[in-house]
Amino acid sequence: MNKLPLRLHHNAYVVKNLEQTRAFYEDMLGMPLLATWCERTDLFGKDRVYCHCFFGLQDASALAFFQFADADDQQEFGPPLPMSGFRHIALKVDADHQNFLLNKLKAASYDPQKHYVLEHGYCKSLYVIDPDDMIVEFCTDHPDVDNINADVLPKAHHELKRWLAGDHTPNNEAFHRHA
């Protein structure tokens, strides 16, 4: 049976301060707080107490965030990770939404070092760094994304094998053709 998951249910992260997280995701980005679950669970041989908040996306999926009551649990499950633009979550938006978010960040004097825009060819991305240094990417697809995707799909396995064999030649014709 070749069946794909229906959609993302939620993606979860451990944060230092749930109120700062709530203010950022709900007040700044407009993602509503859907649920707050305060739990006590036996996890990995220890009684753990934590709070788990869910912020909604349009398709009913969510971004979720944990904060532990115990500092040792917080450190065990949420150690600081090095900041990297390659560790992020990407959310699809339309161009109006992307522009709205960018203008809202600027109007709020959100640190200009904590948001930036990149053109990838197949999509344009607004990257925003949250209070815990997690990067959230808001992507708009290129108007010709269906044709771009149709071009790259048949070559995906070949391109991966080529890369793994040591041929690191760029292949993003979409960027050069559509930028």
pLDDT tens digits for range 123-164: 899 999 999 989 999 999 999 988 988 888 898 889 989 888
At 85, list the tokens.
């633009």
Tell whether 168 and 118 lie within a shared domain. Answer: yes
Find tokens 């993302």 and name the residue. Answer: 8
Q: What is the mean pLDDT of the chain?
A: 89
Q: Give the C-alpha separation, 127 to 114, whole Å.
A: 8
Tell whether 74 and 33 lie within a shared domain. Answer: yes
Q: Give the C-alpha separation, 16 to 66, whole Å.
A: 9
Q: Give the pLDDT confidence of 3-59 residue by residue, as tens digits.
A: 877 889 899 999 999 999 999 999 999 999 999 999 999 989 999 999 999 999 999
Domain that holds residue 32: 1-79
Q: Would you say residue 82 has pLDDT above 80?
A: no
Tell whether 32 and 117 lie within a shared domain. Answer: no
Choose one of 59, 79, 99: the last residue of a domain: 79
Of 177, 60, 55, 51, give the one whose Cα is nearest residue 121.
177
Check if the beta carbon of residue 49 is closer than 8 Å to that of residue 69: yes
> Quick one: pLDDT at residue 111?
93
Tell whether 129 and 57 lie within a shared domain. Answer: no
- Exposed, middle or buried: residue 71 (CB in 10 Å: 0-12, 13-18, 19+)? exposed
User: What's the CATH number where 118 sits?
Assistant: 3.10.180
Q: Give the C-alpha separation, 174 to 179, whole Å.
A: 7
Q: Give the C-alpha separation, 174 to 151, whole Å.
A: 9
> Quick one: pLDDT at residue 178?
40
